Every structure is written in C-alpha cells, then in structure tokens.
C-alpha cells in the first residue's frame, strides 16, 4: 500500500507558508497565506527536476561528486 506523500511545509513571516512537493520529474512550490479560517494559495511554481539540477550543477559542480559518493554508499 502506497502512502500519499506529504509536502514539506515551511512557515514564513506574516502568516505565510511555503509548501514543497517533490515528485519524480518536478518540484512544486506553493505559497500560502493564512486567513482567519483557512489557507489560501497565493501562487504556485512548478520546476522540472532536470532544470533544477542543471542550475545547481552550474553553480556548484563539486556537490555532484559528493552526492554520487553518498548514493554509492547507500547502494552498498
């Protein structure tokens, strides 16, 4: 039985929150604002994982070698 994954929620200032859902091919960021009775969605951003990895690689190439070492150790 697959349990539905829950997003990561980070509380912000001024009754806001950032919800992060990491899927297989995309990362979805949702900005929420707390009203008196519920949360309302302010905006939503969908970022392809491949694009995000490319941008991270452009900024910090050494990080990928570290990640590869971690994955190799996990697989052992």
Give the model confidence (pLDDT) of 39-63 as tens digits.
Answer: 899 999 999 999 998 888 888 877 7
Domains and CATH numbers, the chain: 8-75 (3.10.450)
Nearest to 26 by CA among 44, 42, 41: 44
How far is Cα 74 from Cα 5, in angstroms, rounded to an integer?
A: 22
pTM to 2 decimals?
0.69
Residues 10 and 17: beta-carbon distance below 8 Å: yes
Residue 27: enclosing H or E segment and its boundaries?
A: strand 26-34
The whole-number pLDDT of residue 55 equals 87
Structure token pair of residue 52: 């995000």
Burial class (CB in 10 A: 0-12, 13-18, 19+), 21: middle
């Amino acid at each position: 039985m697959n349990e539905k994954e829950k997003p990561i929620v980070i509380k912000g200032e001024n009754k806001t929150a950032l919800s992060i859902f990491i899927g297989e091919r995309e990362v979805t960021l949702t900005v929420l604002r707390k009203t008196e009775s519920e949360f309302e969605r302010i905006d939503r951003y969908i970022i392809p994982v491949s694009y995000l990895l490319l941008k991270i690689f452009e900024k910090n190439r050494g990080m990928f070698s570290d990640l590869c070492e971690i994955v190799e150790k996990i697989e052992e």
